[in-house]
Structure 1
Amino acid sequence: MVYSVKNIFNTRIESMYDSRSRKYVGFDQYGVRNAEHYNSLDWKSLVREFEKETLCRHRAQLFRRSTLERKLPPTVKVRQTKHADYGERTMFECSVWSFYPQAINVSWLIDGVETVTDVSSTDVLPNEDWTFQLHSYLELILKRGERLTCRVEHSSLVKSLEVDFDTFSLDAKYIKLSVGSIFFCIGFTAAVGGAVYYWWKRRSGFSPVDGREQTSTSLSDL
């Protein structure tokens, strides 16, 4: 910690106090006389040391906590820049926000294996709240069943952060098609079963009306 006080007259430094030597130094004839006078005053050096501890060191601690020791973990999201189906070439974006300090590493993994082909990214961009953001892009033909992961390494993280691309949007129409097929099969099976049951009853000669007439005849005979 070095504390200096400069006495300037007409834009020229005439004397300066340096906390390393704990005395004033003059730079011209007038400044040398003033420096000798200041150095003869014991209280003057004590005041400067007090200012060093209360002003400089305290502010340096605040600066260290707000900059050098400040760590904010990133927020990560992976998405498609435009909709595309499996087997179609598309672009994926990994957005990393609100991290501090600036140094960060972002990479792409396919089924756990890092890929560097067709990968690009923006520069680290500053935010208004003194944090940073970065966006990484991967152009890829995604296959069904593949796991696409964005991996982020930052000093605020105990271990690397890995975020997978949610394939629900791609699988949704297959899910709808499967569910529709299941309901169609159930409905078709019920219709066929009903038709077979009706045909079997007609073939066996069963009729609700005939049954009532036979019952009435039997009672009159009695």
Structure 2
Amino acid sequence: MIIDFTHSFKDYHEILDFYGVWDYECPNPECGAKQHPMRRHARYERSLVMWDADAGRLKEERMEILRLKCCSCGSTHAVLTMDVIPFFAYSIQAFLALVSLCMAEKSSVPQTGEKADVSCQLLYRFLLIFHEYAEKLMLFLRMETLWEGERNPLESQILPLLLGKSPPWPQSCFFQKFRSPIFLHRKSTVSYPLRFGSAMP
């Protein structure tokens, strides 16, 4: 799997329309080639749930995903963008927006679910994922000198810091620090090992 932090859902057409030389490295750790020439292999469709900030609600988009094949080892890899959480239907913006609504003052999960027209079960899952990432996010904020207090920030203070920066931050920086996309939540990787490559800006 290749995550391109220089592109988003909005300009994915640039990836689909590109027929030149790909500068991505093959994410397969078993690929022994010093250079990783890759070629177009296939496309597939998937849904991505986005957050419409103007309307204050979720919206579902369909997008085509390009797969590339490494000419050296023959492995194939989907090319995702900075706003896609691998193996997840919701974009990172939608995830953060819903968690922010749940954590807002005088708000609750049922109220947020009714307002955003999503199930409480989904929101509780999002909050669980966010809570599981909280410790790593606090470390990340300190590493990026975005939090310098003696005590760790409250979980509710993390969100404004994450949302206060324009893309591709924090996704690309987080990936560079921990070699994993932010909020990736996949417990079993036996049948599909997680192998990430990235075209860093």
TM-score normalised by L of structure 1: 0.18
- More strand by percentage: 1
TM-score normalised by L of structure 2: 0.20
Q: Max radius of gyration: which structure?
A: 1
- More helix by percentage: 1
